[in-house]
Amino acid sequence: MNKNKYLFYLVRSTFLPFFWLPILYIYLTQNKGLDVTTTMFLLGLQELSLIFLEIPTGVVADKISRRFSIALGYILTSLPFVFLPYANSYWIFVLIFITKATGKALISGADKSLLYDTLLDYQKENQYKEILNKSNSLMLGVSSICILMGGYIAEHINIEYTLWLPFPFMLIGAIAAMLMDEPTTSKKGKLLQEENYIKHTWNALKYIFSKQHLLTGLLMFSLARGLAVNMKWFYTPIFDYFNINLLQIGGFTAGLYLLKSIAAYLSTKLFHKDNDINIKVINFILMLSFFISGLLLNKILLFSLLLVILFASEMLLSSTEEYLHKELTSKDRATAMSIISLFSSIMATIMINGWGLAQDKFGLGYALIFIGILFAFGFTLFLFLSKKNKV
């Protein structure tokens, strides 16, 4: 168990070494000459692609190997950007971003399923949330350093180095994944799987929709993950609204990721034993934070609430993941999580496009309120479904 746990920490620490994060938009528009519409489409293409990629890649993890799925995913996530400086065709850009999305889909659900099944082997699944949050803290800490370095490298050395550097980091993660042991629970689950790909996927889908708790968890996980993947694209318009320059944006973004790392670690001390209570309270905090931010648009208050949002989003994500894993069986775990991630990709797509439309038509305040409305809907529906479950 300890071998897999420490390798899991290494794998997760190399998940987001994205030196290019603060400057990718600038690189595509200024260095590659893409217009804003095309650039935003490419940045949003990953979540759109995941709608179609999540299920088949989940089956790879369930039916072939979770270690292999993670390792291949790490390579496909980082390798395409190595070729981005040499791309000059719109369709090559699309291919690069779709390949990156395929890599993310191969990792999605497989890494955490492997961890959860490892803990199940030793009846230590109660440690899942703590290990996951510590690994997220490590991952975000590494990411914040990479973001800060990326801004410096882009400004003073060569902007294209920021596109090449993630690959060796993620290659280390891929090797670490292959060194992990496939849990006994996963092996037993594989023996129980249907051989037919369509039937295996259909059975996992039926299982999700037959369980009220899974549907409840699916809703909350979709909101939590949708917010997690989109926040990095929300920072720039927020900072731009207050006329903060690009150098400061890079510094603030790195600082936020560092604070997110600390939040992920500290949040392990604040969880309630009852996950229902965790999810309700955290969802309410996020809903309130977005509403207050959008209504007041005060610089100091908004930046303070950004920290609250970062802190709460980490807690909500880990709480909902544990909530889901407790309801899943090993033979369907990675496929089911990929199906659930598919719905979260739909939510993420709604979230980023709704934000863009609200900001474009009405202003930043309405964009923040739109996200608050999504969490208000989730909070209300979770309360209703929770009561129904108890009845």
With beta carbons less than 8 A apart as the criterion, state whether 61 and 109 touch: yes
With beta carbons less than 8 A apart as the criterion, state whether 183 and 118 touch: yes
Query: pLDDT confidence of 250, banded at 50, 70, 90?
Result: low
- Angle between helix 66-82 and helix 90-107 axes, rounded to 10 deg: 160
pTM for the whole structure: 0.68
pLDDT at 85: 93
Provide the token pair at 245: 């320059």
pLDDT tens per residue across span 27-44: 887 888 887 667 777 877
pLDDT tens per residue across span 202-221: 777 777 777 777 777 788 88
The whole-angstrom separation of Cα 167 and Cα 5 is 23
Mean predicted lDDT score pLDDT of the chain: 80
What number of other Cβ atoms are within 10 A of residue 323's Cβ?
A: 21
- Percent of the chain with pLDDT strictly greater than 90: 19
Whether the per-residue pLDDT at 173 is higher than 80: the answer is yes
pLDDT tens per residue across span 273-327: 666 777 888 889 999 999 999 998 888 888 888 888 888 887 787 778 777 777 7
The whole-angstrom separation of Cα 88 and Cα 84 is 8
Mean pLDDT calculated for residue range 239-268? 70
The whole-angstrom separation of Cα 69 and Cα 344 is 20
The whole-angstrom separation of Cα 346 and Cα 71 is 25
pLDDT at 306: 85
Whether the per-residue pLDDT at 96 is higher than 90: the answer is yes
Q: Let me know the angle formed at the C-alpha of 289 by 288 and 290, rounded to the nearest 5 degrees.
A: 95
Torsion, Cα 133 17 144 346, to 10 degrees, reads: -60
pLDDT at 249: 67
Q: Let me know the angle formed at the C-alpha of 77 by 74 and 81, rounded to the nearest 5 degrees.
A: 135
Provide the token pair at 346: 């739909």
Cβ neighbors of 24 (< 8 A, separation 6 or more) are 43
Query: pLDDT confidence of 391, banded at 50, 70, 90?
Result: very low
Position 355: which residue type?
A: W
Q: Residue 111: which of 218, 4, 184, 199 has the closest Cα?
A: 4
Position 26: which residue type?
A: I
CATH topology of domain 2-390: Growth Hormone; Chain: A; (1.20.1250)
The whole-angstrom separation of Cα 96 and Cα 76 is 10
Cα end-to-end distance, the chain, whole Å: 38
Q: Residue 78: which of 96, 60, 66 has the closest Cα?
A: 96
